[in-house]
Structure formats: C-alpha cells, structure tokens
Structure 1
Amino acid sequence: MFRRAVLGCLSAFVALAAHAADYPVKPIRVIVPYAAGGADLYIRPLQEKLQAALGQPLVIENVGGGGGAVGAAKAARSEADGYTLLFAGTGAIITAPRLTGASYTWRDFAPVANVVAIPFTWVVRQDSPIDSFARLLELGRSRPGTLSYASPGHGTSTQMGADAILAAGGAAVTEIPYQGGAPALSAVLGGHVDAMIGAPSIVMPQVEAGTLRALAVTGPARFAPTPDVPAVGEFGVDVHVVANYGFFAPRGTPEAIVRRLAGAIQAAVADPAYVATMRKGYNDVAFLGPQDYTSAVQEEDRYFGGLMDQAGVGAAP
C-alpha cells in the first residue's frame, strides 16, 4: 500500500513537471474581481505583449462583488495549473475576506508579479478653506470630529490607511463611507463631505479640471505621476499606505509556471509605451517578482490585519 502511494505521488510529480515544461498550451483566463473599467485597465495594455510572449490568448474576465471577494474566491477555487489567474489589489485577498467572511485568505494564492503601486490622494473641493494637508490636520486636532471625509468603503485598505494617517497626525476627522470611489467623489464634489481620499486615477482628473484641490499622497514619497502633490510625510506623518495590484495564481501552481508567467510580465511592464500609459492615467509601474511580492503581501497582511483588529472591523481568517 505504501509503495503504491509513493508511486502515485511520483507519478503526480512527473505529470506536473511535464505540464510545466509544456505550459501554456491553451488560453489563460485572468479574473479581475471588480467591475469593468477599473483595475482591468492596468492589464489590458499588456495583453498583446503577454500573448506574444506566452503564445496563447489572455482572456480577461471581470467578476465583481464583495470588494473583490467574489472574484478572488472563484480564482482560489480554480485548478492550480496556470490557466486561471487573479489580477487584483491586495485588499481583495487581505481585507475583503475579513469583511465578507469569505473562506479564502491570501495564503490560498501564489503571488506571481506585482504590476502597479498606487498611493491614495487626499483632496478637497477647490473652493474649500482647507488649503493644505497641514490645515486639515490642524482643524482635525482643534475641532475633533467636526470635519468629515468620504471613503470608498468602511474597512477597506483606503479607509484603514486614512484613519491611521489621521491618528498619526493627532487629528479626528469623521469617516463617511460610500460604495466605491465614484460615489465618494460625487460626495466631495457635491459638498456633502469636507474631504475625500481615493485613487489618483479617480480624483486627479478633477484636480486637473480645477474642481478639486489635491492636498497630499499617502506614499512614502511624492508620486511620480503627480510630482507637485506633497507626501503626508512632509507634514510630519510617519504612516504610509500604497495599494499594490498584481497577478496571483491558485496555491499549488508549479513554481516553473509561476516563474514563466513572472518573466513574461516583467518584460511586458518594462515597455516604455506601457509605462507612459500608466503614468498618463496617474498610475506607476512597480514590478515585483514572486519572492519579493510574497514578502510584500505578508507585510500588508500584518499591517492591515493589525489595523482591522485594533478597529474591531472584520473577523480574523
């Protein structure tokens, strides 16, 4: 019996090795766990180069719902054969499962490659008396709880990071949660809240149009696509939040396949035309390979998990 079990394991290993050597031999599905026109815009410009490098079509499938949890769960349940991937922000595999009670965690995935890294941006209406992030902090300290800010959802990495930044600055600003960045943007434009925090791709077009004023970005330094906007660290806040978006494979995907995918992605994102496209949309390319990406996800899980535990939001996986 033991000999048969060993032979079975060896046969499975040989089959996986052969599969990895031939990979890919059919189209590769990429699940994006958000509505169309969101994070899929980060990878649609990569399709042609990735298809040429891999020799197979790349089929992008948007599966929204649950802050990314619905699509991420579907990807986690897929065969670990390299033919179903997830492209998502790490919030979809870190904060979303805690908020929704989903059965998966980030450990059900093998990080393949990070593609873009995006700090969030604090904004106010152009006619607001809040003319700087320093002023927002000052008012949040002197008049705690009287100012409000719009977030794209309570318990999201955006909101968690916002409250951590405000706390580090000694300010109390009331969060008003909305169901996504677009309604949060409408709220600040309509004067229903005093400020907003959101992705640069959502808020910066309004800044350029002169309807909003950018106060600060949440990264550790100024953001290359918006160099005139200061970082929160310039106001004495030592808390930084950056959203990473990248490719994941189901756990158990052969390492050779993960490396093959990562190599093709690294070459594709290095294309100057892709970098320019991302910069034009207020995004920045930040490639990380499997090992570094895994470390980054582990650190995000530690950081955001700690914030959620402190705030009593969600359930630990």
Structure 2
Amino acid sequence: MYQATRRGILAAPALLAAGGALAQSFPTREVRMVIPWAAGGGTDILGRRLQPLLAARGVHLVVDNAPGGSSVVGMQRVASSRPDGYTIGLASTSILALMASGTISLRNENFDNLVRVSEDPMLLLVSGNSPWRDLEAYRAAFRDKAGAMSVGVAGTRGTVSHIFSVLMARGLGADYVFSGYPGGARAIADIMGGHIDSVILKPNETMSQIRDGSLRPLATFAPRRLAQFPDLPTFGEAGIDMFPYGPITQMTYLSGPSGMPAAVSARLGEAFRSAVLTPEFQAFAAENGFLADGLAGEDFAKLCDEVQRAMLAVGNNLGVFSAG
C-alpha cells in the first residue's frame, strides 16, 4: 500500500524477507517528528495528541517545532534528513501550495507522503465583540471598508489560507488587507486584542474560543455544512464559489524524506493510520471539528496532485503567487 513499486513487486524473496525483518525491528530508537509550525498551533496540537497513540504502537516520537516560512523551514529539515525513517514531519497543504507556486526549491519528489492525519475545514471568524453577527453583515462591512478590511491567517502568501482569503475577497467584491502569522495562536491573540478584523483558521485552533464566545464563526470554507456547526453556513450558500478551479482543502499529513526503505515507510504509515483510526483520535477529531479518515496510498497521492493543480490554477488566474 505504501511505496508500492514495480521494483518492489519484482524483488527477490530474500530481499522481501529482509524488508520484513527491517519493518519488524524499526524503530529501535526515538523518531523525531518535525512540526513546521509554532507551538500551540493546530498542527502542534495534532502532533502531540498522536504521541501517546504512536507510543502504544512502538513508535516513540520526539516533537521538534521548527516554524518559519509557512512550514518551509521545518519541511526543508525533513527533506534534507537521512532517509532512514528517524526524521519525519507533519506536512500540510500549505507546502503543496508553495511548491506549486515555484517560489521555493522544495518539490514533491523530495518527500514520501504516507498518510493523511486530518482534513481541516477552514472557518471565517471575527471577535466575539464584533458588530458583524453573520456573513451578510460581514459582506456589507467588507465592501464599505473598500480594501481596508484586515484578514489574518496562519501562514504567508501562497498558503491555503491565503488562497481562501483571495477567493473570498473575489466573491465579496472588494480588496482587503492580508496579515500572515507564524501560527494560529498569534493570529488569535491579535484578533482578540482588536488589532485585526477577521481571521481564517481551523476549528481545532479556535474551538475553545468559539465555545467561550470570544470568537464568532461566520462561515465555513468547506463545500458542505459541518456536523460540529450545523447552523454555520457555507460560502456556497451565500452564492460565493470557493472552488472554481477544483478541490482545495487544508490537510495535515505524515511525510518523510524521499528514499526511505519501503519497509520503513510501511511501518510508519501503518502505525500512523492505525493511530488516526483509533476511537480516541476519532473522538478528538469530532470534538475539534476536523475529519480523520487515514487516507493513504495511491488515493492520497492522487488527491495531493488534484489539490496542487487547483491551487496552481488559482495562482495563475488570480495572481495569488505574485509578490506584494
């Protein structure tokens, strides 16, 4: 399922046996899991939640937060590490967007992408003290501000959240002020402090603030309403098409450096997939408003390609990857 290649299919029985032995013995020490975002953000929360579940499966993780460049700093560490399985990363769709833009040196072939950990529907949120209580009020204010409405996201230009902000502004009919942050925690602090007007963030970054009323969700960027927020409308319901160029979704997934032994990739992939599908993690996903299906193999690779093509089309048509 993972890393299935023609070479693997034609391998001699002795090599297959050796691979099986390697899978059984791996890992013999702790595995460093690079979180390419700041501590306290959504990806960091996911990684630390997975730690005990992976430990129960014989994979002991040491979390290494390496924020910077909208995940480029951390994923560069993963790509340049020895491909022995002892350095892995929790990548996100943001790195797919940056690779599609051609603005960074990393490419898909630098990684072995193994299994989806989460699919995160993005939310448009304002402060609980905001006068905008629904999407229509926000739309009216967006137009009245005529380019002065500020929208904060976790990441810089070219990331998924930025792409959504561009598509949203296109649908709302006005320009805006983009504010990129190194992680969701910083964006939340600024909107609650009154420094920005709105944010586009994941539910698992904002659920506690939504529950206590300090943040108010106005709409979801998902194609359909979320089970956790049945009264929250989609942008599509307001006549705003967020997917004119194909599927765009925010995902977090297990990735390692290209060239890992097939047996090691399989061991890691199965361990993570098993952890994601546990009742404990599924309950955590439901509580925090994200999906966790453990998609892997060719289906996951195909989806990554489709999302990247859609983001490239957005970039080419709306200038998302342009400087400025």
TM-score (norm 2): 0.81
CA contact (8 A) 2:147 2:177 kept: no
TM-superposed CA distance for 1:308, in Å, is: 3.1
Counterpart of 1:177 (choices 179, 192, 200) is 179
**Corresponding residue number in structure 2 for 1:79:** 82
Task: Choose 32-41 or 267-276, whichever is displaced more.
Answer: 32-41
Aligned-pair CA distance for 1:25 = 4.2
Distance in structure 2 (CA, Å) of the matches to 1:49 and 1:149: 36
Amino acid at match of 2:254: F
Quote how far apart the aligned CAs of 1:31 are. Answer: 1.7
1:108 matched residue in structure 2: 110
SS of the residue 1:285 aligns to: coil
1:176-195 equivalences in 2 (<5 Å): 176-180=178-182, 181-195=184-198
Picking from 278, 291, 312, the partner of 1:305 is 312
> 2:46 maps to which residue?
42
Count of aligned positions: 303
- When Rg is computed on C-alpha atoms for both structures, the one with the higher figure is 1
Distance 2:140 2:271 in 1: 48
The question of whether the paired residues in 2 share the 8 Å contact of 1:137 and 1:166 is answered with no
How has the CA–CA distance of structure 1 residues 153 and 208 changed in structure 2, closer, same or farther, with 3 Å as cutoff? Answer: same
1:273 correspondence with 2:280: yes
Change (3 A) 1:31 1:183: closer
Partner of residue 161 from structure 2, selected from 143, 150, 158: 158
Moved more, 140-149 or 272-281: 140-149
CA distance in 2, matches of 1:120, 1:256: 35
Q: How does 1:1-317 map to 2 (within 5 A)?
A: 18-19=18-19, 21-23=21-23, 24-27=26-29, 28-38=31-41, 39-53=43-57, 55-95=58-98, 98=101, 101-141=103-143, 144-155=146-157, 156-167=159-170, 169-180=171-182, 181-240=184-243, 241-309=248-316, 310-311=318-319, 313=321
CA contact (8 A) 1:123 1:195 kept: yes
- In 1, distance between residues paired with 2:79 and 2:250? 21
Q: How far apart in 1 are the matches of 2:141 and 2:48?
A: 42
Change (3 A) 1:148 1:31: closer
1:66 and 1:96 in contact (8 A); partners too: no
Q: CA RMSD in A?
A: 3.0
8 Å CA contact 1:33, 1:62 repeated in 2: yes
In 2, Cα distance between equivalents of 1:263 and 1:150: 36
Shift of 1:210: 1.8
The residue type paired with residue 76 of structure 1 is A
Q: Deviations over 1:254-291 (max 9, x none)?
A: 33433332222222111111222233334332321122
Runs of 5+ unmatched residues, structure 1: 1-9
User: Which amino acid counterpart does residue 49 of structure 2 have in structure 1?
Assistant: P
What SS does structure 2 have at the residue aligned with 1:288?
coil
Distance 2:154 2:45 in 1: 19
User: Is the alpha carbon distance of 1:312 and 1:236 closer, same or farther for their aligned partners in structure 2, counting shifts above 3 Å?
Assistant: closer
TM-score (norm 1): 0.82
Question: 1:296: Cα distance to partner?
Answer: 1.9
C-alpha distance in structure 2 between counterparts of 1:68 and 1:42, whole Å: 15
* Distance across 2 between alignment mates of 1:64 and 1:216: 28
**How far 1:146 moved relative to its partner?**
4.4
Aligned partners of 1:253, 1:266: CA distance in 2, in Å? Answer: 18
Contact (CA 8 Å) 2:190, 2:196: kept in 1 or not?
A: yes
Q: 1:204 to 1:59 in 2, by over 3 A?
A: closer
1:82 Cα offset (Å):
2.5
Structure 2 stretches lacking a partner, 5+ long: 1-9
